[in-house]
Homo-oligomer: A and B are copies of this chain.
Amino acid sequence: MPSSDPHSLHPLDNLLGYHLRRASVAMMADFGKRLQAIKLRPTEATILLLIETNPGCIQSDIGRILGIQRANMVPMIAALEKAGLIARSAMDGRSHALHLTEQGEETLQAAKTIIDAHENYFQSMFSADENKALLTSIHRISKPGD
């Protein structure tokens, strides 16, 4: 096998997909660990952020934004309601508007502090320019339509 074979020497080294996965796992692990302090999981914190920005949205909206199946949204929303962080009020006969409770807003503020610390921890690995370039590039990969 020729030594110029791009897979030979370090077969994973130039693979964007592999390192994207490892980086994502590393950040998710750090985020999850930090969120344990307020008994939230990463997806739950993300849902609280979305409800704050889109009060009155329905759980199917959130599922579409986050790429989560409707069926899998059910236990997540139920858990947040049971924990007293969100409230549901009937819109039509089939959908319920979602809002943060007072406790949900308080928890979200704590989550935001954690998110900032977590993001700063990783983003401080890079210069401002590197950071902007990195976010722009990753956006391009993750955006569905673009």
Residues of A within 8 A of B (CB): 6-12, 14-28, 31, 46, 49-50, 52-53, 67, 112, 115-116, 118-119, 122-123, 125-126, 130-131, 133-135, 137-142
The answer on a CB contact under 8 Å between A15 and B125 is: no
Work out how many copies of this chain go into the complex.
Answer: 2
- B17 touching A21 by the CB < 8 A rule? no
How far in angstroms is the closest Cβ of chain B from A121? 10
Contact A141 B112 (CB under 8 A): no
Chain A: interface secondary structure?
A: helix
| Cβ–Cβ contact A20 & B16, under 8 A | no
- In the A-B complex, the 6 residue pairs with the closest CB atoms: A22-B142, A23-B141, A24-B24, A23-B142, A11-B49, A17-B27
Does the CB pair A24–B15 fall under 8 Å?
Answer: no
